[in-house]
Amino acid sequence: MLISLFSQELLFFTVVVPFVFVYLCYRSSSISKNTSAHATNWPIFHMLPALIVNLYNIHDCIAAVLAQNSQNTRIHLPGRRIFMTCDPANVRHIFTTNYTNFPKGMEFAAIFDIMDRTLFTIDGEPARRQRAKLQSVLSSPQLVASMAACCRNKLENGLLPFFTDMASTNAPFDMQEVISRFIFDLAAMPIFGVDPGLVSSDMLSVEVAMAMDTVMEVGFIRHMMPDFCWKAMRRLNIGPERKLHAAHTVLQGFIKNMIESKKIKGGCICNREEQQGVDILSSYVNDPDYSNDGLFRAMLGFMFAGRDTIGTILPWIFYNLAQNPNIVSVIRNELSPIASRKIGAGRGAIVIFEPEEIKSLVYLQATLFETLRLYPPAPFERKTVVADDIMPSGHKVKAGDTIFISVHSMGRMEDVWGKDCHDYNPYRWISEDNKLCYVPSHKFLSFNSGPRTCLGKDIAIMQMKTVVAAVLWNFDMEVVQGQSIQPKMSCILHMKNGLIVKLKKR
């Protein structure tokens, strides 16, 4: 009798609850936008119902809650105590001052099990060692130069010819998908020294890019769900866990193939003799600290770092610029003197700006930062508390608690950015003497803060500036009316329905 009761309960928690959760997650996007659950703390389920009802709009919902609660709140979910914050003082405490007390933790590593033992999931001394290695690789001037050359070549031979074709027919297309292909190539080339060719005339399948998206989408569900639920689903290989399992297989196959083909064929970035052997993989293959497995994991981590972030922010930049023609004019005015110095840059010709030429453009960079403030590609960070602590805001956290840091909310707080915090205004980044204002990373958290700050920030800025300058200078963009532009339920801020645009050659 007791055993049968126990197994019924087990069945309820391992099968029924996860199914209801996942069903509601998917359904929540179609629930009326007026629906709003009061965050009642129910027995057993605690605030899970409120969370599910608001999932369709989770980032804005969290921003509203944090704005009402002086940037800090507590959330109770089954089996978990969560402290949610976007308070810069707390962020500095968590990411810098008392950083060792707030690792990512084992649950985070379990959620991203495919990236197990990569820099993305590890803490402490192993993270410090991997980071040091990576820092030395990424600071190589040769590598940075070849990444710049890659970006330029892919623009010239991939993205801009495709855009020119689309402009000549005035046909609508999904800008997010094309950018995703372009950035996939751009991330893979410096890593493996091989061009996957996703932006090309035959537009190959994006199976691998889709597998990466699945990791981030199912990762989001795992973050929100009680952990015993998703672990049970993983064991039974059902629902999103089944999709994730298939994505893991695709990713493993891709990375292993790329490593093998690199080992067999050699290969170099952008097919230039002088750049032979400057790809990231070459810096790892002969390192005795990296076994085949270590190599696989390091390359996988790189793909996510480079591809997901830039690929996510560029569509938001283009979307915002399409709504703000005055901002586009200011950027074009900034580019104009450089364009006019270029040989053959007459009317109708395609112009590509070299990273060095646009490095010092303040307004263009301010526009990128303004978009990163409002649409950070990684909208939240998650940490675990090692020992009881008191936050600068006065909130107590206990060992084992989870902390969610809402990066998305921080960019939308009046107390942090002023009354116009929701306005898209690049000038907030520019001082009176026309220099970029310094904003500390615990207030502008899009590139993370403290000892785990993004290692690719400068490379990312260089690539984003090069792409945005080329697209804006050469094309007028119109966002097709009637679309619903909103973030996907994912650990990265992808647009849920893509971004359908039309282009016109200038």
46 vs 93, beta carbon nearer ligand HEM:
93
Kindly state the smallest distance separating residue 456's Cβ from ligand HEM, in Å.
Answer: 2
Task: Pick out residues in 391-420 that bind ligand HEM (CB under 6 A).
Answer: none
Rounded distance, CA 494 to CA 6, Å?
41
Residue 176 touching ligand HEM (CB under 6 A): no
CB within 8 Å of 100: residues ≥ 6 apart: 124, 386
Query: Which one of 47, 50, 194, 305 is in contact with ligand HEM (CB under 6 A)?
Result: 305
CB within 8 Å of 377: residues ≥ 6 apart: 308, 309, 310, 312, 313, 446, 492, 493
Kindly state the smallest distance separating residue 180's Cβ from ligand HEM, in Å.
Answer: 14
18 vs 426, beta carbon nearer ligand HEM:
426
206 vs 454, beta carbon nearer ligand HEM:
454
The one segment of 235-243, 252-260, 355-363, 440-448 that binds ligand HEM by CB under 6 A: 440-448
Query: Which one of 59, 152, 373, 452 is in contact with ligand HEM (CB under 6 A)?
Result: 452
DSSP letters for 211-257: HHHHHHHHHHHHHHS-HHHHHHHHHHT-THHHHHHHHHHHHHHHHHH
21 vs 284, beta carbon nearer ligand HEM:
284
Query: Which one of 309, 406, 409, 474 is in contact with ligand HEM (CB under 6 A)?
Result: 309
Segment holding 504, helix H or strand E:
strand 500-505
DSSP letters for 49-88: HHHHHTGGGHHHHHHHHHHHTTTEEEEEETTEEEEEE--H
Query: Which one of 306, 315, 379, 487 is in contact with ligand HEM (CB under 6 A)?
Result: 306
Query: Which one of 18, 158, 267, 377 is in contact with ligand HEM (CB under 6 A)?
Result: 377
Rounded distance, CA 73 to CA 82, Å?
9
Kindly state the smallest distance separating residue 158's Cβ from ligand HEM, in Å.
Answer: 18
Rounded distance, CA 75 to CA 62, Å?
11
Residue 48 touching ligand HEM (CB under 6 A): no
Query: Which one of 316, 369, 380, 447 is in contact with ligand HEM (CB under 6 A)?
Result: 447
Rounded distance, CA 186 to CA 491, Å?
21
Question: How many positions of this chain bind ligand HEM (CB under 6 A)?
Answer: 22
Asked whether the beta carbons of 298 and 284 are under 8 A apart, the reply is yes
Binding mask 7-46 for ligand HEM (x = CB under 6 A): ----------------------------------------
275 vs 309, beta carbon nearer ligand HEM:
309
Binding mask 83-122 for ligand HEM (x = CB under 6 A): ------------------------------------x---
Kindly state the smallest distance separating residue 135's Cβ from ligand HEM, in Å.
Answer: 8
Kindly state the smallest distance separating residue 55's Cβ from ligand HEM, in Å.
Answer: 21
Residue 183 touching ligand HEM (CB under 6 A): no
Query: Which one of 111, 137, 366, 378 is in contact with ligand HEM (CB under 6 A)?
Result: 378
Rounded distance, CA 293 to CA 319, Å?
40
Strand order in the sheet with 402-406: 72-77, 80-85, 402-406, 380-384
Residue 454 touching ligand HEM (CB under 6 A): yes
Q: Beta strand pairing status for 402-406 and 80-85?
A: parallel
CB atoms within 10 A of CB 203: 13
Phi and psi, residue 468, nearest 5°: -65, -45
Asked whether the beta carbons of 328 and 321 are under 8 A apart, the reply is yes
Residue 224 touching ligand HEM (CB under 6 A): no
Task: Using CB atoms within 10 Å of the CB of residue 72, give its burial: 0 to 12 exposed, 13 to 18 middle, 19+ buried.
Answer: middle
39 vs 491, beta carbon nearer ligand HEM:
491
Kindly state the smallest distance separating residue 2's Cβ from ligand HEM, in Å.
Answer: 44
Residue 316 touching ligand HEM (CB under 6 A): no
Residue nearest to ligand HEM (CB): 456
Residue 313 touching ligand HEM (CB under 6 A): yes
Residue 492 touching ligand HEM (CB under 6 A): no
Nearest 10 degrees: CA dihedral of 453, 454, 456, 462?
A: -90
The one segment of 60-68, 90-98, 450-458, 482-490 that binds ligand HEM by CB under 6 A: 450-458
The one segment of 58-66, 261-269, 374-382, 473-481 that binds ligand HEM by CB under 6 A: 374-382
Kindly state the smallest distance separating residue 50's Cβ from ligand HEM, in Å.
Answer: 26
Query: Which one of 25, 268, 300, 310 is in contact with ligand HEM (CB under 6 A)?
Result: 310
Kindly state the smallest distance separating residue 186's Cβ from ligand HEM, in Å.
Answer: 9
**What are the counts of helices (DSSP H) followed by strands (DSSP E) for the chain?**
22, 9
Phi and psi, residue 504, nearest 5°: -130, 135
First to last CA, the chain: 77
CB atoms within 10 A of CB 128: 12
- Interface ranges with ligand HEM (CB under 6 A): 119, 131, 134, 138, 305-306, 309-310, 313, 372, 377-378, 381, 446-448, 452, 454-456, 459-460
